Amino acid sequence: MKAPRITDTTLRDGSHALQHQYTREQVRAVVQALDQAGVPVIEVTHGDGLGGSSVQYGFSRTSELDLIAEAAETAQKAKIAALLVPGIGTRKDLKAAVDRGLKVVRIATQCTEADISQQHFAMAKEMGLEAVGFLMMAHMRPPAALVEQALLMQSYGADCVYVVDSAGAMLPQDAYARVKALNEALEIHVGFHAHNNLGLAVGNTLAALEAGADQVDGCLRGLGAGAGNAPTEVLAAVLDRMGLNPGLDVFKLMDAAEYVVAPLMPYQPIPDRDALTIGYAGVYSTFLLHAKRAAEQFGLDPREILVELGRRQAVAGQEDWILDVALDLVRQRERP
């Protein structure tokens, strides 16, 4: 096993838990703490990526471009990354983010739709960015199918392709098999992004490392969508104990989690009833707060909505299906 590169996404995946209300001051404090603790890549964007500020996903309180600029000005060593989901964000958004100091772009598609990312990879490489592919909801397809999609991203110029467990639905053997398959088929790096909906974020990350992952993601205090992600400070401590510390200051990360991030968290993400249902039903982690809201509005159990979305094979970004499903459930209930 090798020491992986860590990308911290407290300021992107964590944006879901904060309903995209991050301020410049918060971004500055988190980036400073991560940078000083030796985290090499820090992702800062609306939770749904560049251009995600919308009715569909929730509007950003502060423009993500301003947050990216703040992060880029603050970081001494770390590179600032942003998520870009084609269909939501565009090359225009990417260009604007690069003007604010962006160095790494993570281009995400549903794990069957890599071919919509070609124009974005092309532009990223043209602009000299590091370009990482993100195959979302990767639990929905077997390893061989993911390999095909990852090869497409590699052919478009990706420097790394991630297996992304957006639903937190994978078991350790699922994470292992997928990362292993990509690792064997690709010439570029392979990454893994975990969610903790089944309580397996750190365990799955270790399985991914066992399978040869070069890059993995974390969030301070696990602050992310659903039950959150693998906590960066926990990963640092575990990797250190395994003799695989990639240069992270474990105590500084503990302090960052404890004193910088914990006080700004609206709640501690854990695999509680609804977040656990997301992992169990295999739906997109960001549906959590939207489903809770719709359930409250229509007097439903959020689990009914989430399980129905799983049955309908909802994919990343389909938050609008939540209202649709809630209306259908209400109508079914009213039927004699």
Partner 1 sequence: MIQPGANLGKVKVAILGSGNIGTDLMYKILRDPGHMELALVAGIDPQSEGLSRAKSLGIQTSTEGIEAILADPSIRIVFDATSAKAHIRHAGMLREAGRIAIDLTPAAQGPYVVPPVNLGKHLDEPNVNLITCGGQATIPLVYAVSRVVPVRYAEIVSTVASVSAGPGTRQNIDEFTFTTAKGLEVIGGAQQGKALVLLNPAEPPVLMRNTIYAVPESDEVDEEAVQASVERMALEVRRYVPGYRLKPVVFDRRQTPWGTKPVITMLLEVEGAGDFLPTYSGNLDIMTASARRVGELFAQHLLGIRGMIA
Q: Which of 16, 20, 195, 290 is catalytic?
A: 16
Candidate list 38, 47, 86, 222; residue touching partner 1; CB under 8 A: 86
Q: Does 88 bind partner 1 (CB under 8 A)?
A: yes
CA torsion 186→191→197→198, rounded to 10°?
Answer: 60
Confirm whether 16 is a catalytic residue.
Answer: yes
Exactly one of 23, 32, 36, 90 binds partner 1 (CB under 8 A); that residue is 90
> Considering beta carbons, is residue 109 or 196 the nearer one to partner 1?
109
- Of 189 and 290, the one with the shorter C-beta distance to partner 1 is 290
316 φ, ψ (degrees, to nearest 5): -50, 130
Rounded Cα distance, 86 and 109, in Å: 7
The owner of tokens 């975990």 is 194
Q: 105 has which bridge partners?
A: 82, 131
> What residues numbered 197-216 form the site for partner 1, per CB under 8 A?
none
Quick one: which segment of 50-58, 100-108, 155-163, 197-205 binds partner 1 (CB under 8 A)?
50-58
Q: Three-state SS for 61?
A: coil
Among 5, 103, 292, 312, binds partner 1 (CB under 8 A): 312
How many residues bind partner 1 (CB under 8 A)? The answer is 32
Distance CA 78, CA 284 (A): 29
Out of 55, 76, 263, 334, point to the residue binding partner 1 (CB under 8 A).
55
* Cα angle for residues 273, 281, 223 (degrees, 5° grid): 55
Interface segment toward partner 1; rule CB under 8 A; list 49-57, 100-108, 166-174, 245-253? 49-57
Q: Which two tokens stand for residue 326?
A: 């809630």
- Taking the complex as a whole, the smallest distance from the CB of residue 171 to partner 1 amounts, in Å, to 22
Span from 3-11, 24-32, 53-61, 272-280 in contact with partner 1 (CB under 8 A): 53-61
What Rg do the C-alpha atoms of the chain give, in angstroms? Answer: 18
Select from 4, 14, 58, 271 the one that contacts partner 1 (CB under 8 A).
58
Burial class (CB in 10 A: 0-12, 13-18, 19+), 99: exposed
Q: How far is the CB of 61 from partner 1 (least distance, A)?
A: 9
CB 191 within 8 A of CB 161: yes
- Show contacts with partner 1 in window 155-194 (CB under 8 A): none
Q: Does 76 bind partner 1 (CB under 8 A)?
A: no
Nearest-angstrom CA–CA distance, 90 and 93: 5
Task: Give the C-alpha separation, 65 to 50, whole Å.
Answer: 9
**In the block, residue with structure tokens 């979305």:** 309
Q: Does 59 contact partner 1 by CB under 8 A?
A: yes
Residue entry with tokens 């549906």: 287
Q: Of the two residues 53 and 245, which places its CB atom closer to partner 1 in the complex?
A: 53
332 forms part of the interface with partner 1 (CB under 8 A): no
Q: Which residues in the 105-144 window bind partner 1 by CB under 8 A?
A: 110, 112-113, 115-116, 118-120
Q: Out of 56, 96, 125, 249, point to the residue binding partner 1 (CB under 8 A).
A: 56
Measure the CA–CA gap between 176 and 190, rounded to whole angstroms: 12
* 259 binds partner 1, rule: CB under 8 A: no
Q: Which three-class secondary structure state does DSSP give residue 275?
A: helix
221, 225, 229, 254 from 261: Cα distances, Å: 7, 15, 14, 10
Q: Is 248 left (phi over 0), alpha (psi -120 to 50) or beta?
A: beta
**Is 87 one of the binding residues for partner 1 (CB under 8 A)?**
yes
Nearest to 50 by CA among 108, 110, 114, 135: 108
Binding range to partner 1, per CB under 8 A, among 34-42, 74-82, 275-283, 318-326: 318-326
54 binds partner 1 (CB under 8 A): yes
Catalytically active residues are: 16
Please report, as ranges, the residues that interact with partner 1 according to CB under 8 A: 53-56, 58-59, 86-88, 90-92, 110, 112-113, 115-116, 118-120, 312-318, 320-321, 323-324, 327
